[in-house]
Amino acid sequence: MSMVRGKTAIVGIGYSEITRRSQKPLGLLAVDACRAALEDSGVEAGQINGLTTYPESPFAGAGNRDGIDVVTVMYVVNHLPLAPDIRWYAQIETGMIASPIIEAANALIAGACEYVLIWRAMHRPEARPAGSGTASAPRASGDAQFMAPWGCTSIVQWHALAWQRYMQRYGATREALAALAVNSRRNANLNPRAFFYSQPLSRDDYFSSRWIAEPLCLYDCDVPIDGCVALVMTTAERARDLKNPPAYVAGWGQNTASRRTLLHYALDDYMECGGSLARKLWASAGLGPRDMDAAELYDGFNPSTLYWLEAAGFCPQGEGGSFVQGGRIALEGELPVNTFGGSLSEGRMHGMGHIAEAVRQVTGRAEQRQLKDAEAVCAIDGSPMLRGSGIVVTRSP
C-alpha cells in the first residue's frame, strides 16, 4: 500500500442544496453538486474522463428510477458536457461511499483516467401510507418470518437492540449519546450547508425528544434529506497546479472480515469487523489513531460513532461512552469528532459529508470549524456491525 500513498488527491468539493423536500428532481441536484465541485476544483467538465458513484437507494424498496431515486453514471454522462470519451467509470455496490474514492485512486494510479468526478445523491422518498408495505402483510417470508411477528421490522430497531446490549455490558448511559448529538449539532451550527445550521440542540432537548426505538430517540437518528455531494480527484502531480490546496489520499481500508449470518445487528463482532477495516486503514496510511487531528465517523445511528471510536483504536473497548464526554470530542477538544455536524445534523449522505469535511479540514477550508494545523483526518463510513470503508487524507503527500 505504501506504493500508492499520497499519489492521488481530492481537489474539489461541491454541494447541492440540502433539504427535506426539494422542488428539483434528484438528478438535477446531482448536476448542481457536480458543477459546483468542478468550479471549486478549477477543472473543466471536458477534462473529466473518469466517473464513479455509489448509487444505492436509501433503503430497501425505496425505488430505483434513474434521476429520481438514484443517479447513475449514465445520467451524469447525459447531463454534463464531459470528455467526449469517458475512459473509466465504476458504479460501486458494496463498501459504502469511500469505496468509489478507493476505486478512483486505483484508476488514477493505473493511468486509466486523468480527472475523476465522484458523487453521492440521496433522496428522501415519500412516507409510505399507513397499512402499506411488508409490515402489514398477512404472512412474512424469509428472515422476516422470525422478526415481523414480534414487530421488529426496521433497521433502527436492530441498532436499538445492539445499543441496549452495549449499555448493559459496559454500564454506558444515554448521556454518551446526548454528548454526541449535542456536539454534532453545535458543529452543524457552524456549517452553512447543514440542514440544522440554524437550529441549536441542548441536552434537555435531547432527553425530552420522543422515542423512535427505545433506547434510541429522535436525535439518535440521521436526518433524511434530498441532496448530493460531489468530489473531483486527480493525481498528486496534477493537483499541485489547480485552484485549491489538495487533500492527499494517504490510505484506505475496507471491512472484509467474515461473519456468521445474522437476522439483525448484534454487538458480538463490532470490534472484529470494525478492526478489520481499521487495521488496513492505518497500515496503508502509515499513520494511526493518535496521528489523527479529527475523526469523521459514521453516525447513521448515533451509537455507531461510539463503536468506531473503539474499533478504530481511539479508545479501549467499552470506554466509548466515557470517552465522548467532558468536551473531549469538541472542536477545541483532544479528538474533534464529526466537525461538520455529521449525518445527525448536516444530513444523511451515507458518509460523503464526512469525507468532504475531512478534505476541508486538511486543506484549511473548514470556515468557522477549522482546526489549527490539521495535518491528517480520517473519514469512516458504514456501521462496524456491517460493512464499511474509510480513508485518511493529509495536508502533505
Query: What are the pLDDT digits (tens) for 30-68?
Result: 999 999 999 999 999 999 999 999 988 776 667 789 999
pTM greater than the 0.75 cutoff? yes
pLDDT beneath 70, residues of the chain? 1-2, 59-61, 127-138
Q: How many beta carbons lie within 10 A of that of residue 318, not counting itself?
A: 15
Q: Would you put residue 341 in left (φ > 0), alpha (ψ -120 to 50) or beta? A: left
Q: Find all residues with CB under 8 Å of 240, minimum gap 6, and list them.
A: 246
Between CA 187 and CA 201 the distance in angstroms is 11
Q: Supply the angle between the helices 270-285 and 303-311 in degrees, to the nearest 10.
A: 60
Domain 8-126+224-394 has CATH 3.40.50.2030: no
> What is the radius of gyration, based on Cα positions, of the chain?
20
Q: How high is the pLDDT of residue 262?
A: 72
Q: How high is the pLDDT of residue 2?
A: 66
Q: How high is the pLDDT of residue 138?
A: 63
Extract the C-alpha cell encoding 130: 399507513
Q: How high is the pLDDT of residue 137?
A: 54
Closest by CA position to 285, among listed 248, 316, 260, 314: 248
In order, the DSSP letters of 310-371 are HHTTSS-TT-HHHHTSTTTTSTTSSS-BSTT-HHHHT---TTHHHHHHHHHHHTT--GGGPP
Between CA 346 and CA 330 the distance in angstroms is 16
Between CA 182 and CA 164 the distance in angstroms is 20
Q: Which residues of 118-138 are buried (b: 16+ CB within 10 A; e: fewer)?
A: bbbbbbbeeeeeeeeeeeeee
Containing 207, the helix (H) or strand (E) segment is helix 203-208
* SS3 label, residue 13: strand
Q: How high is the pLDDT of residue 61?
A: 63
CA-based end-to-end distance of the chain: 14
Q: Which residues of 370-385 are buried (b: 16+ CB within 10 A; e: fewer)?
A: bbeebebbbbbbbbbb
